[in-house]
Amino acid sequence: MGKVRVIGGRWRGTRLEVPSVAGLRPTSDRVRETVFNWLMPWLPGARVIDLFAGTGALGLEALSRGAASAVLAERDASLAAALRGTLARLEGGERGQVLQGDGLAFLRGSTDTFDIAFVDPPFAGDLWTQAWPLLAPRLAPEAMVHVESPVDVDPAVPADWVVHREGRTREVRYALYRVPGAEPAADTLDADPTAGEPSTQNENA
């Protein structure tokens, strides 16, 4: 069993256990730091969904850094229980809602809308293309979507989504997309698109 940690915000340093569960592949600290630097203008007050939560590292990081709420969907009962336990012991953890079950099924029955979505499914299978038609109607016009996939797999995001930033490690491509109508924050317009990206030489997600 390994550990990852919340790397920024009010819960910085909180440790999250990584049990041996098939398909579990937490986003590395270094990649998360880069992704959340990109997301910084959109985080305050955001409504977040972590569609394949696993350890909850992405959803919890968003809450730690100022998101108003987060839905963390996780099918594995032990992982969902661990997420509930983590939120219960954190001040402000009531802003997180853990759903034990299929995140895609949740989207089918939901009327909620989200400003930020994290889509980092197990790499076995093709959950990306199953997710898009269900997720797209649940996104606010200014939404941002973080997607992780193997470097040799096209996640086939909707054609009208625009890449805002992207990077890769030896095994993982990670990208932040803007949905139709979203505009980059003023303080990111002139930013170096490679600033803050981790090296691809020695990083494993």
- pLDDT tens-digit map of 9-29: 999 988 876 655 555 566 778
What are the tokens at 137? 């109607």
CA-CA distances (angstroms) from residue 38 to 130, 162, 176? 26, 14, 8
Domains detected in the chain: 2-188 (3.40.50.150)
Q: In this predicted model, what pLDDT tens digit does every residue of 74-98 receive, in sequence order?
A: 998 988 998 999 999 999 999 999 9
Give the C-alpha separation, 133 to 37, whole Å.
28
Give the C-alpha separation, 66 to 59, whole Å.
11
Whether the model pTM is above 0.75: yes
Q: Taking the C-alpha atoms of 103, 106, 108 and 112 in order, what is their torsion angle to the nearest 10 degrees? A: -110
Average pLDDT along the chain: 85
